[in-house]
Structure 1
Amino acid sequence: MENENQKKYYRPVTNLLVFSVVLVIILFYFVGPKTSLSSKTNTFGQEKVAVSDLEKKVLPTEGVTLPVIWGDLGSKLVDAGVIDATKFKALYEQKGTFTDEYKNLLLGQDNGKIKITNENAGYILNLFWAFGLANKNPILETGEMSDPRYGGAENFASTGGWTIAKGNVMDHYSKHKLINLTPQQQALVDKVSRGIFRPCCGNSTHFPDCNHGMAMLGLLELMASQGISEQDMWSTALAVNAYWFPNNYLTIATYMKDKGVDWRDVKPQEMLGFDYSSSQGYAKIASQVVSSPAQRSGNGCGLDLGGAVSPPARSGSGCGLDSGGAVPPPRQQNGCGL
């Protein structure tokens, strides 16, 4: 009888202990993670703010005004047949992205300084690509592009990818004297072009085998011809490269921020060098970045047809003509062609 009473007594005690253990587990499971999740949410929110602030520095939403006057260069490129205006306009009109700004830059006679933005970066890339390809320059005629080891200048993305010229693209390659450079200005272009790399490959602007390299060469030539200082050439090149390769330079800026260096304090010449801006250098930098910034699209190695691009996730275009338009996040980078 006594044993039966003890069993009756122990059973509720045992049940109470089991219930207590279960209650503790439930409280730990639901209360603990809530606190942790809240902390993560706050941390994530802070990271988003930090990335947003970083983007404002690397890719100003209001754009960056380039220190060069475009004038009637677009019209000259059309008159020379470097750009077939009908084909060029059609690429944009089919996307509904051929704006008045684009029309003026292509056909206008008195354009002022160019402002590059997230929205028009691809169009600016195409214009400078055409200009860099067509303007007569010894870098194109005696540099790496013409080295027999590479099989001829016509075999690169920067030449073969330009499919909207009148006639054969090589009939325009370094054939038109659109601007004049003094020996000193040419020497400056040569020097700076050797120090500017691009994340899509391991070559400098002195070897403009893709559209980015050819466009940057054109920009350097135009800046030198208008008396822009070497330091301003480096600074402008970094700002432009950032709009053409937004993901890459947001990552580089994050890397510098982690090292305690604000993007406004970086040395443009260093950032554009092989260790940061070449594909090899960038890969090493990216491997050391723990918190990746929000992805944005860039302009690939092809004709970019522009259009408004909505952050945060935007993809790049490949090594060919890119028809642009509104870009849904994310999309794959296009290859070296149309």
Structure 2
Amino acid sequence: MENENQIKNGSSVHIGVLVLSVAVASYIAYSAGQGAPKTGQTPQKESESASFEIPMNWGDLGVKMISVGVIDPEKFESIYAQRGGLSPEEKQILYGSDNKSIKMTEENAGFLLNMLWALGLGNKNDILESGPMSKYGDVGNFASTGGWILAKNDPMDHYSRHRLIMLTDDQQKLVERVSQNIYRPCCDNATNFPDCNHGMAMLGLLELLAANGASEQTMYKAALRINQFWFPDQYATIAKYLQSKGKSIESADPREILGRNYSSASGFRKIAALVPQTESRSSGGCGVDSGQPAAKPQQGCGI
């Protein structure tokens, strides 16, 4: 009932695949044509660190996703063409076969968002097949499904279709448990209801962390750090709120910060209302990320 109310209230995007795909494509075309941020144009937020090494081995997941078609490499590379193409490190993640841990930075956060989005969408998992999102009609109409325009053929041809990551029963239970407690500021749903790109990407990350033997606490810590890259303004605001209470986001319990009271769209709005706001950068949109700033700051799961 809770998720049903959220969908009725518009917290979750549930529009036609055709309309959504056209909107995403338009967003990509616009944002890819924008110039890259000039040095010093966007100050680094206090809650961010320069980089974060994700505690897992990526291996050849890029190659596997290309081989099954959840990523079409020509489509994928085309969205980065107008900003000089993929970096050597990004090409290694996409095409390499012996990747170890991956370092997330402000520069590659959008690229890794797209890679993890494809992973979460394509990997076979009970959360997609019988979880909360499966109860609401055609799941192909969500932003996280119909909005993935970088696959070969229809994105739903790949929805929970490929065994890209193998989980034990205990690891699956861990992913299910943790995913219920991790929210993102663009939506009011937890990761076990991955109706937008950030939710689907976070699901892919949790699956990968669990498969690599990460503990529950490690998964929460990694999820918080990564959400800080994907939503820098929102978590900078949360950090300021905590500072006003004599606390710091670095020492806070990551599970608490990722929960509904702080990291859901409604929870964040309450926090933001208590913190003086400054000019924000573009962040939090739920379309395919071309690595370029959008025309204006985006909130929610729209394009």
Task: Output aligned runs, 1:96-175, within 5 Å.
Answer: 96-147=84-135, 150-175=136-161
Provide structure 2 residue ranges, at least 5 long, that are not aligned to the other structure: 1-42
1:257 paired with 2:243, answer yes
Aligned to 1:331: 296
Task: Output aligned runs, 1:1-338, within 5 Å.
Answer: 55-56=45-46, 58-61=47-50, 63-147=51-135, 150-290=136-276, 292=277, 295-306=280-291, 324=292, 327=293, 331-333=296-298
Q: For 1:284 and 1:333, locate their aligned partners in 2 and report how far apart those are by CA, in whole Å.
A: 18
Q: What amino acid sits opposite 2:260 in the alignment?
A: F
Identical-residue share of aligned pairs (%): 52
Conserved? CA contact 1:250–1:293, under 8 Å: no
Q: Deviations over 1:256-300 (max 9, x none)?
A: 00000022211100000000000110011111113x355233242
Which one has a bigger Cα radius of gyration? 1
Conserved? CA contact 1:72–1:108, under 8 Å: yes
Higher relative contact order (CA 8 A, sep 6+): 2
Q: What amino acid sits opposite 2:211 in the alignment?
A: S
Q: What amino acid sits opposite 1:282 in the alignment?
A: F
Q: For 2:248 and 2:109, locate their aligned partners in 1 and report how far apart those are by CA, in whole Å.
A: 24
Conserved? CA contact 1:253–1:263, under 8 Å: yes
Conserved? CA contact 1:251–1:293, under 8 Å: no
**Cα distance change of structure 1 residues 293 and 335 upon mapping to structure 2, 3 Å threshold:** closer
Q: For 1:186 and 1:86, locate their aligned partners in 2 and report how far apart those are by CA, in whole Å.
A: 33
Aligned to 2:3: none
SS of alignment partner, residue 162 of structure 1: coil
Q: What amino acid sits opposite 2:282 in the alignment?
A: S
Q: For 2:93 and 2:81, locate their aligned partners in 1 and report how far apart those are by CA, in whole Å.
A: 15
Aligned to 1:27: none
Normalized per residue, which structure has more helix? 1
**Cα distance change of structure 1 residues 189 and 335 upon mapping to structure 2, 3 Å threshold:** closer
Q: For 1:337 and 1:88, locate their aligned partners in 2 and report how far apart those are by CA, in whole Å.
A: 21
Conserved? CA contact 1:145–1:152, under 8 Å: no
Report the CA distance between 1:117 and its aligned residue: 0.8
Q: Deviations over 1:147-187 (max 9, x none)?
A: 1xx22211100000001111111110000001110110000
Aligned to 1:37: none
Q: For 2:290 and 2:72, locate their aligned partners in 1 and report how far apart those are by CA, in whole Å.
A: 15
**Cα distance change of structure 1 residues 334 and 237 upon mapping to structure 2, 3 Å threshold:** closer
Conserved? CA contact 1:245–1:297, under 8 Å: no
Conserved? CA contact 1:161–1:336, under 8 Å: no
Aligned to 1:13: none
- Which runs of at least 4 in structure 1 moved beyond 4 Å after TM superposition? 334-338
Conserved? CA contact 1:300–1:334, under 8 Å: yes
Q: For 2:225 and 2:285, locate their aligned partners in 1 and report how far apart those are by CA, in whole Å.
A: 17
Provide structure 1 residue ranges, at least 5 long, that are not aligned to the other structure: 1-51, 307-323
Q: What amino acid sits opposite 1:181 in the alignment?
A: L
Q: For 1:335 and 1:168, locate their aligned partners in 2 and report how far apart those are by CA, in whole Å.
A: 24
Q: For 2:259 and 2:120, locate their aligned partners in 1 and report how far apart those are by CA, in whole Å.
A: 21
